[in-house]
Structure 1
Amino acid sequence: MLYIISNCTNGKKLLPNKCNLFRNYRHNIIENVILDWRTNLKNSSNKIKAKDLYKGVTWKAILDCEKEFNIKFPTKLLIASAGYGLIDSEKMISSYGITFSRNQLDSVNKYCLNKIWWNNINEFSVNEFKNVSAIFICLSKEYLDATNNYIEKLIQIYPDKVFIINVAKKCDLKFRKNSLNFDSRFNLYEPGTLINLSQRVLRWLSKEIVKNDLKLDHNILQEYINNFLNKFENVYTKKGKKLEDTDLKIMLNNFMLKENILSASKGLTLLRKSGFSCEQKRFHNLFNNLKKEILKK
């Protein structure tokens, strides 16, 4: 069995009820919060398959990975959820509002350490992994930090079968041997934001593994990745491509509506790291004007 572990996304097709919003929990004792949280999720009547709850380009990329890997391997998608812990994507769940991401209204870290919450909420034992051919882990930094101890246990059991998608400049040293390293040069092949870079590179890798019958071996896969990224070495050093206002507005619209980026400075940073250029004043004017239009709707 090939496993994919991906974090959930903020975008959901169903709105959560008030009892499933973390902002409404005020207990001082974490055990009580966990108990109330689980009880409210369990008692919620409006349930949907986990894989059908989430939406957006980031989630679509993960579903594409599952579909692609399934061509060659029996594949199971698992979701690292701040609301439920690690769950099978086929599990029936309720919508909820809670996240390991920082500075959100429903952020766990406003209340306790992400790692402590994960250790209490997760009920999916490492012993539930069966007949493992590979485990591909595609998590944001906050979710990777929260699940740190859990991933360490997986590596202890399956040292050569855990592959962690890493798009950061530096990876966690204890995961170094299990990391598959990418960087933003990938955006010169497939333009996009850094927010969903991990999911997009795994989608590309899944296609390459299936198409070229690549062995699930860390050294072989990393060499293949390096050879691919090196094709863009010269292009990477050039000044970013300029966009016309119409094309830039389309990209900004995606930033705001699909990726929930509402800061012009953050948007400009992502634009430039995606291989495009724009003068700061022009970008801020377009961004802020478009933001006003969207908020009026």
Structure 2
Amino acid sequence: MSIVVTCTDRKTLLPASGLSARELPQGSLPERADTWRARLRSFDGERRALRDLYKGEAWRRSLDVEKKATELNLAPTMYVASAGLGLRQVDEVAPGYAATFATGHADSVAESAGGARQWWSALSAGPAALALADLPRRPTLIVLSAAYAVPLADDLRALASTNPDVLVVGAVQPMPGARHVVANRALRAELRGTAMSLNQRMAQAWLDRLDGRPLTAPELFPEWDRWVERVQQPEIWDRTPISDETAIQAIRSMIATNDRLTWSPALRQFRDSGYACEQKRFKRLFAKASEER
């Protein structure tokens, strides 16, 4: 089995000099991608295997998917899709870097869906690059976060055109050609964990139900739907309103622990802490808190 997961922002190495997307020079997207690839190739500092480079709860759950597949004797080979590295086998090595498909981030590689697709195509080009369609023709489980659904769509379509046994877990957009288990936050109560690792937990739950059957056995899908109908619990948000002054104090505390923090991940962290704040208002307060540093 091949398993494809997406990378995480959190890493065990700080970004090396020149390997943050914010440090790329102005220019067209292909020019910036060429510069980025050249910097990766020429870097001669510390590198770590990707399984040791990424960290955090979501990454641990990705490794759990690999572990579950191993326990089921599915002989998994795991790959990581990364906005900074392209598609890599999990035991390949890489330096610390900062690049993301998430918009509104200082290290965003593109600010539009079209730009993200173009960036991914650039990373997938070249003699040493790997594309999804290059993976062995065997059962392939792809655990896909929302940020990667659009950039990888064309690559995924090419894979599905030659491999009939592809399952995508996560994202909400239709995945042409592949069987798809849609992300469902109503499963959090049943599967536990954070929203960031829900796709991985869903993938593990799917593997638990194989019972010796193929990854995309037709009967698995109605079985899954019946299980979801039985256990899902729609989330009801109960966040606490907060004043501008208190919000700014909270933002300052977040910035103090991470001076590279930008408003978008800060807002997610703020809301995960149980506070309510409209996006436009939070962005304004974040800018104010940043100016007062």
| TM-score, structure 1 normalization | 0.74
List aligned pairs for 1:10-25, cutoff 5 A. Answer: 10-25=9-24
Gaps (5+ residues) in structure 2?
A: 240-253, 258-263, 278-293
Task: Assess, with a 3 A threshold, how the Cα gap between structure 1 residues 18 and 238 changes in structure 2: closer, same or farther.
Answer: closer
List aligned pairs for 1:87-126, cutoff 5 A. Answer: 87-110=88-111, 113-122=115-124, 123-126=129-132
Q: Is the 8 A contact 2:99 2:108 kept in 1?
A: yes
Task: Assess, with a 3 A threshold, how the Cα gap between structure 1 residues 158 and 41 changes in structure 2: closer, same or farther.
Answer: same
Task: Assess, with a 3 A threshold, how the Cα gap between structure 1 residues 14 and 184 changes in structure 2: closer, same or farther.
Answer: same
Higher share of residues assigned helix: 1
Q: Is the 8 A contact 2:167 2:215 kept in 1?
A: no
Are residue 202 (structure 1) and residue 207 (structure 2) matched? no
Task: Assess, with a 3 A threshold, how the Cα gap between structure 1 residues 220 and 21 changes in structure 2: closer, same or farther.
Answer: same
Counterpart-to-counterpart distance in 2, 1:207 and 1:194: 20
Q: Displacement, 1:186?
A: 1.4
Q: Displacement, 1:142?
A: 2.0
Q: Is the 8 A contact 1:64 1:203 kept in 2?
A: yes
Q: Displacement, 1:165?
A: 0.8
Q: Is the 8 A contact 1:181 1:222 kept in 2?
A: no
For 1:221, the equivalent position in structure 2 comes to 220
* One-letter code aligned to 1:172: P
Q: Aligned residue pairs: how many?
A: 251
Q: Note the aligned Cα RMSD (angstroms).
A: 3.2
Q: Displacement, 1:110?
A: 3.7
Q: Displacement, 1:187?
A: 1.2
Query: Which of residues 123, 134, 138 in structure 2 aligns to 1:128?
Result: 134
For 1:287, the equivalent position in structure 2 comes to none
Gaps (5+ residues) in structure 1?
A: 243-255, 272-277, 282-297
Task: Assess, with a 3 A threshold, how the Cα gap between structure 1 residues 103 and 241 changes in structure 2: closer, same or farther.
Answer: closer
* One-letter code aligned to 1:142: A
For 1:49, the equivalent position in structure 2 comes to 49
Q: Is the 8 A contact 1:178 1:218 kept in 2?
A: no
Q: What per-residue deviation string (whole Å, max 9, x for no partner) do you get for residues 55-78 of structure 1?
A: 011011110101110121111111
Counterpart-to-counterpart distance in 1, 2:175 and 2:81: 22
* One-letter code aligned to 1:51: R
Q: Displacement, 1:107?
A: 0.3
Q: Displacement, 1:47?
A: 0.6
Are residue 7 (structure 1) and residue 9 (structure 2) matched? no
Task: Assess, with a 3 A threshold, how the Cα gap between structure 1 residues 241 and 25 changes in structure 2: closer, same or farther.
Answer: closer
List aligned pairs for 1:1-297, cutoff 5 A. Answer: 2-44=1-43, 45-71=45-71, 72-110=73-111, 113-122=115-124, 123-126=129-132, 128-132=134-138, 134-159=139-164, 161-166=165-170, 168=172, 171-172=173-174, 174-175=176-177, 178-209=179-210, 212-232=211-231, 236=233, 261-263=265-267, 268=271
Q: Displacement, 1:52?
A: 1.0
| TM-score, structure 2 normalization | 0.75
